Amino acid sequence: MSFNIPKTNKKRVVIVGGGFGGLQLANKLKDSGYQVVLVDKNNYHQFLPLIYQVASAGMEPSSIAFPFRNVYKKRKKDFFFRMAEARAVVPELNLLQTSIGKIEYDYLVFAAGTVSNFFGNKHIEEVAMPMKNISEAMGLRNALLANFERAVTCTSEEEKRELLNIVIVGGGATGIEIAGALSEMKRYVLPKDYPELKPEELQIYLVEAADRLLQGMTPKASQDTAKFLEEMGVKMILGKKVADYIDRKVIFENGDTIPTRTFIWTSGVTAARIGNMKPETMGRGGRIQVDGFNRVKGYDNIFSIGDQCLLTDDPAYPNGHPQLAQVAIQQGTLLASNLKRLQSGEVFKPFRYKDLGSMATIGRNRAVVDLPKLHFSGWFAWLMWLVVHLRSILGVRNKIFVLLNWIWNYVTYDYTMRLIIYARKAKEVREREEREAVTHLGEDILSPLPQQRQTKQGELNRQANQQ
């Protein structure tokens, strides 16, 4: 296999990851004079702030997923998308190794975001239900609905208790949002769809190792969130760490247990890893260390933006920026401008984050908002959350669908997406993926493309003659 992208006299920018930062960078490089190649392991952009609504059967995946080829259908010149997974980089040869082969670059940008962080607990990684992408959210939705169906027919009280206990580990925005959504499902959906079950039998536990929820927001936001969740019947467990999950029981470090078959993990993230990176370039949380221009330290033509990078040169954020969509978007915008400046010989501008605030929703008419100099919560905060997220969704069609879906749910108190669907890959796709895995596993990432090898050797010869 090959990327099948023609080599031109234009400099090539390869972007790894089509999240908020990568998408913004690709958009801003339109008509820039660069050849832009976007590489992502999926063929769609995911609007992750609403992923909890997919997991709680409140929204279809297509409402928050946008195919890259549709987003860029009008950009047929100097823009290419390839569905592939980045495996390793060879900076000495300006090569990126992927699941479909190698590609040369003039400038490489890592914007692959984060994955769930299990803090080294391999067993929890195997058995927990994470919620970092659409496929995981769909898996969680299937598990929740299947457990409800099973609870209707089971004869053992112990099994029923396991099926109707839901444990969410992680008190960040994702954790409190899914807890609030499941609480609303308990109140509005369970009595209608499952009259055989008593709503009080469904118990929702939210576990946070720290002493308060929403560590990234103000203490007032944490207090308001805890109050809302308590009113909604969510049982909060603060200051206790989960040690393991064995025999359908969540086990805490102090020995306490909660029986459950729905063990949801939203406790922290770590940066997506790229092979062959120098250890000294890696920082806290697996993030790639960059300078004030989002340039990977030690390299001139490799950059990183968004959640995957760690920038400590900003005086206001000496420990790095929060892993928020706005940071990625602003970094993508500035990097595009700097790459354009590079063409004209201008000086790079350093990144300075403009804090536009943070927000989280806990359910109907309940949300918290932290602005730089103002905090508020309740109905108005919830309305503001709706407006901001609706504006951020790509595509007019999707905006309309999401808005109509929200209105319908608000008026009727009904969630209409309660389908249990297990996807199965076609035999041809499964066999192809197996062949590719074997092929690229044994491939030497240090062996360059022929034209790259000749170019590199020519440069070395010239340097030797000059010396």
| pLDDT higher than 50, residue 432 | yes
Question: What pLDDT score does 460 carry?
Answer: 43
Question: What pLDDT score does 226 carry?
Answer: 97
CA terminus-to-terminus distance, the chain = 40
| pLDDT higher than 70, residue 212 | yes
CATH number of 122-267: 3.50.50.100
Residue ranges of the chain assigned to CATH 3.50.50.60 = 12-116+270-357+433-450
Round to whole Å and give the CA distance between 7 and 199.
Answer: 62
pLDDT tens per residue across span 24-64: 999 999 989 999 999 999 999 999 998 998 898 888 888 88
- Give percent of the chain with pLDDT exceeding 90: 71
For 11, 20, 97, 147, 209, the CA distances from 100, given in Å and listed in that order, are 22, 24, 8, 39, 41
Question: What pLDDT score does 263 carry?
Answer: 98
Question: What pLDDT score does 399 carry?
Answer: 79
Question: What pLDDT score does 220 carry?
Answer: 96
| pLDDT higher than 80, residue 418 | no
| Residue 320, beta-bridge partner list | none
What mean pLDDT is reported for the chain?
89
Residue ranges of the chain assigned to CATH 3.50.50.100 = 122-267
Contact yes or no for 225/213 (Cβ under 8 A): yes
Q: Which residue has the higher pLDDT, 325 or 422?
A: 325
Confidence of residue 453 (pLDDT cuts 50, 70, 90): very low
pLDDT tens per residue across span 189-208: 899 899 999 999 999 999 99
Annotate 315-370 with DSSP letters as a single string. Answer: TT-TT-----HHHHHHHHHHHHHHHHHHHHTPPPPPP------EEEEEETTEEEEE
Residue ranges of the alpha helices (H) in 185-324? 190-193, 219-231
Q: Which residue has the higher pLDDT, 37 or 428?
A: 37
State pTM to two decimals: 0.88
pLDDT tens per residue across span 304-362: 999 999 999 999 999 999 999 999 999 999 999 999 999 999 999 999 999 999 999 99
| Residue 368, beta-bridge partner list | 360, 377
Burial of 9 from C-beta contacts in 10 A (0-12 / 13-18 / 19+):
exposed
Question: What pLDDT score does 439 carry?
Answer: 61
Question: What pLDDT score does 195 carry?
Answer: 93
Confidence of residue 464 (pLDDT cuts 50, 70, 90): very low
Mean pLDDT is lowest, of 109-118, 371-380, 428-437, for 428-437
pLDDT tens per residue across span 359-413: 999 988 999 999 988 999 999 999 999 999 888 887 666 778 788 777 777 666 5
Find the mean pLDDT for residues 142-147: 94
CATH number of 12-116+270-357+433-450: 3.50.50.60
pLDDT tens per residue across span 58-81: 888 888 889 999 888 777 788 999
109: Cβ contacts below 8 Å, ≥ 6 apart: 13, 14, 15, 16, 22, 25, 302, 303, 304, 305, 335
